Structure 1
Amino acid sequence: MELMDIVSAPVKVVEKSEPLSHARNVMLRNNISRVVVTENEEPVGILTKTDMTRGLQQDEPKWKRRPIDKIPVKRQMSKDLITIDSSADISEVACKMINHSISGIPVMEDGNTNVTEKNKIIGIVTKQDLTEFYSKTNLNKRIEEIYSNEVISVHRHHSLNKAVELMKKNQINRIIVIDGKNSPVGIITNSDLTFANFNEVKKGIKGKELELPRKTKKAGEKKHRSVDKNMFVAEDVMSAPLITIDIENKTKEAAKKMVEEEISGIPITKNNELDGIITKTDIVEDICNEKL
């Protein structure tokens, strides 16, 4: 299979002067995770869900925060646009994604495919495209060979800000949500954060009042403190029920499940207990390593 067989086209673009709200709507309408940013019709950057999620962590007081329709795309976009030639190998694309820690690469006409003018964008290749390619290979590898057994989690009643901070600190795009018994109950991704809560402070999601226990006093009685009902917590935006896959399965089966469910990572179970996670990044890295 050649690179041009898996390229997604046409590419969705936004001008760098347009507001983030417009870029968000383009992503929603087209069910995509990134758009190419242009200036005078020339590509100058890329904007992803991860870039937009950074807008959730505004340090200013609530009353000073800029609404999404007042923030220009150029403020949040990634300016160093990484591209690849149309005649490159699929494994070369995968390696470039891993080396630059990116999830999508615009494909440029290099004069060999003659799809459009030389040095113009033909399309884009994403981790989704590479994962779908991987799911159709004859590779007979087990999940335990490439998955990560380090799982970052957040309690279902922890604040959204804590979830975002943990994701940023650990440089991950998803976090597992657990209950009081440390059982996984859901997952939060950049998509959940960007599209459910981006406009101001989680607007449109119903709040709730929680009671959390304080430290036990000497007499053994637990006192509870009320939490502001306008505080939004992990379970307000998590995706549930949680989709999992057993560690005994093959990697290409995990890839197929991610494509079918349109998700970027699947928690791994071992003896019905949470044991790790496999992501599209793991799949793309394996394409690079195996030179598929």
Structure 2
Amino acid sequence: MIIKNLMSTDPVCIDKDQNVCDALRLMGKRDVSRLIVINTNSDHEKEMVGIVTEKDIAMKLGSSRYGNMAPSHFHVSTVMTPDLLTADPDMDAGSAASIMLENNIGSLPVVDDDELLGIVTKSDLLDVCRGKAYDKYTAGDVMSTEMITVTPDERLVHARRMMIDAGIGRLPVMDNQELAGILTASDMTRAVINFRKLVPDRHKPSRIRNLLVGDVMKQNVETVDAETPVTDIASMILEKGYGGFPVTAEGELAGIITKTDLLDLIVEIEGVF
């Protein structure tokens, strides 16, 4: 399947000089987790200069360097990822998945003759996983078993560092060897924004270090069984808007399956030459 049949044709854009709060409001309004960043040049033409995601915002706002700065003081250009990789509309899904995996990114703007046609994300590519070629695979075949986990009483800044170092966007939260919740980059973003609104500036640097995973994580986590077909998991991710699910086997946590794991399968099945 080629990209132009999968991409979103109405990419959401934001000016590089708008602030992070504007970006988060726009993401919420349009129900997206990333925005293409544009700049208006001296000829009054709009050009792409980067992309900004919820994860980018969470990682930047959670850093000690910016600990006492209000989100409204952050321009989008401060947190965006520059040097965009793009896709041709006739690129196949396997090639697009391979580029995302190799560069640890979640989307590719689709460009033809310097014209922005759309954007293809990991979620868009997951539609491929609902095809017949994928119905013999289960969560147990695809899941990651080498999980990085945290406990509810660990500090949020520590969890943030673990996400950055591992290049991941979610961490299972374990308490007494039981799954107690899950922490995502989106959870961290909302928590840090709320924290910065409520806590006086002079207390922010010290208090943000005392935020715990248990204060922010999602509880009552939805899981999937290791025998769940990949086709069903792709549909669940798309319908619920989740980034993945913890996987259980015989009632115990056995792994985690994410969009990234499904992209690995796409590359394997579709082939990249």
TM range (shorter): 0.7 to 0.9
Superposed counterparts of 1:66-145, under 5 Å: 66-109=69-112, 118-139=113-134, 140-145=136-141
Determine helix, strand or coil for the equivalent of 1:248.
coil
Question: Aligned ranges for residues 22-101 of structure 1 at < 5 Å?
Answer: 22-40=22-40, 41-60=46-65, 62=67, 65-101=68-104
Contact 1:196 1:202 in 2 (8 A): no
Please, which runs of 5 or more residues in structure 2 have no aligned partner?
41-45, 200-206
Task: Tell me the SS of whatever aligns to 1:123.
Answer: strand
**Aligned counterpart in structure 1 of residue 179 of structure 2, from 166, 169, 184:** 184
Q: How many residues align?
A: 258
Find the residue that maps to 1:153 and give its secondary structure.
coil
- Partner in structure 2 of residue 221 of structure 1: none
Q: What code does the residue aligned with 1:38 have?
A: I
Match of 1:161 in 2: 157
- Residue of structure 1 aligned with 2:241, choices 262, 272, 292: 262
1:5-28 deviations in Å (ceiling 9; x for gaps)? 211121111111111111111111
Per-residue deviation, 1:232: 2.6
Give the deviation of 1:29 after TM superposition: 1.0
Cα separation, 1, equivalents of 2:133 and 2:239: 18
How big is the shift at 1:61? 8.1
Q: Residue 151 of structure 1 corresponds to which residue in structure 2?
A: 147
In the alignment, residue 48 of structure 2 is paired with which amino acid?
A: P
Q: Which has the higher contact order (CA 8 A, sep 6+)?
A: 2
Secondary structure, in 3 states, of the residue corresponding to 1:263? coil
Q: 2:202 aligns to what?
A: none
- Structure 2 Cα separation of the partners of residues 246 and 148 of structure 1: 14
* TM-score, normalised via structure 1 length: 0.82
CA RMSD in angstroms, aligned pairs only: 2.2
Alpha-carbon deviation of 1:68? 0.7
Identity %: 29
Change (3 A) 1:126 1:203: farther
Whole-angstrom distance in 1 between the partners of 2:131 and 2:186: 26
Q: Residues 156 and 291 (structure 1 numbering): CA distance in 2 closer, same or farther, change over 3 Å?
A: same
Give the secondary-structure state (helix, strand or coil) at the position aligned to 2:64: coil
CA distance in 1, matches of 2:159, 2:63: 15
Which string of whole-angstrom CA distances, capped at 9 and with x for unpartnered residues, describes residues 234-261 of structure 1? 1222122111111122222222222222
Aligned equivalents of 2:238, 2:3: Cα separation in 1: 18
Q: Gaps (5+ residues) in structure 1?
A: 110-117, 205-227
Superposed, which structure 2 residues align to 1:225-244 within 5 Å? Answer: 231-244=210-223
Amino acid at match of 1:42: E
- Verify the 8 A CA contact 1:55 1:198 in the aligned structure 2: no
C-alpha displacement at 1:273, in angstroms? Answer: 0.2
Q: Who is 1:197 aligned against?
A: 192
SS at match of 1:176: strand
Larger Rg: 1
Closer, same or farther: CA 203–291 of 1 in aligned 2, 3 Å: farther
Structure-2 change in CA distance of 1:75 and 1:89 (3 Å) = same
Over residues 190-217 of structure 1, what are the superposed CA-to-partner deviations in whole Å (9 max), with x where a residue is unaligned?
111112323554748xxxxxxxxxxxxx
- Does 193-202 or 69-78 show the bigger shift? 193-202
Distance in 2, matches of 1:229 and 1:34, equals 25
Compute the TM-score of the two structures, normalised by the length of structure 2.
Answer: 0.87
